[in-house]
Structure 1
Amino acid sequence: MNRTHLAATSVLPLALLLTACGSDIVKMTDSTWLVSDIYTAPNEQHAISDLVISQPSLDFGKSSLTGYSGCVPFTGRAEFFLNGEKSSVLDANYMTLSALDFDKLPDDCQGQELIVHEQLVDLLPGSFDISRTSASEILLTSDVDELDRPSIRLISWIAPTP
């Protein structure tokens, strides 16, 4: 298991408490975003289970995305838009993710980690509405023609500086 992801899962409750106390909105590029919920269907469980050992996460760059699926690291290209016009990641209310490259899935990826990995592999390539639901929370809603559009809830986790 990657030491960074182990550290992220160990401090998740503390990070949630600390980010809830702040009033400033966390910029998308200033934080690692932990995946807290994946909504794929109204009648399916959506919260990332406590049984998941390695917390899935996303990190946004100016034109890129890196992350961890719960099983493997991945990278991709990101384009950001504000009201239909190209914009910076800081102002965006819409994004398109493409050219995602997931590392080879190890044999020991199973159970809850594998379920989360498969959901992210299916959902991430595509376009998303970006909703900042609180100072430290983002909801990415898939831009698809469905009544109940899949979405991913992210919670900010700012790593302590040494």
Structure 2
Amino acid sequence: MTLTFELDPAITPVLREEILTLWADVSNAGGSVGFVAPVTVDEIRPELIKHFVSMAEGRTRLLVGRDGTGTVAATVFLAFNTHRLMLHWLWLYTVMVHPRHQGKGYGRDLLAAAEEAARGLDGIEAIRLTCRGGHGLERFYGSCGYKEVGRVPGAIRVAPGDDRDDIFMLLPLL
């Protein structure tokens, strides 16, 4: 089974709830997407609303991957830069694949679909993302063509005494 990807889907109540559930499930399974377990959809909702506001303002695009049942199984937000000297690259935020789909290659599929979407945007020459150290994510992104271009040691505090590096990754599109 593969995922079916859609860029800029209509934001319906069902989609909103599926993204919230995905985000909570990923976070509660130990995923590094801005929260630390345990977390509820009510705690995540304000962050999702921020993404939706950015989408409404034309600063962010949403890419959704649906499984064979049509359920949201993966998401990523593509965020444009607003600084006039950095308009040639965009950020990937909240890169998520549902835990029940881990190990199926869907993360690679999601990143490939995000790359394809970025290549279709005028003037975009690179994709940047950050990831939390301590999970080996930089190796995964590296295997997908991203290169580590910076690291801030201990920048992310997931718990008292548990600081992680903030790792910057880049994928040139040219």
Give the TM-score normalised by the residue count of structure 1.
Answer: 0.28
Q: Which has the higher contact order (CA 8 A, sep 6+)?
A: 1
Q: Which has the higher helix share?
A: 2
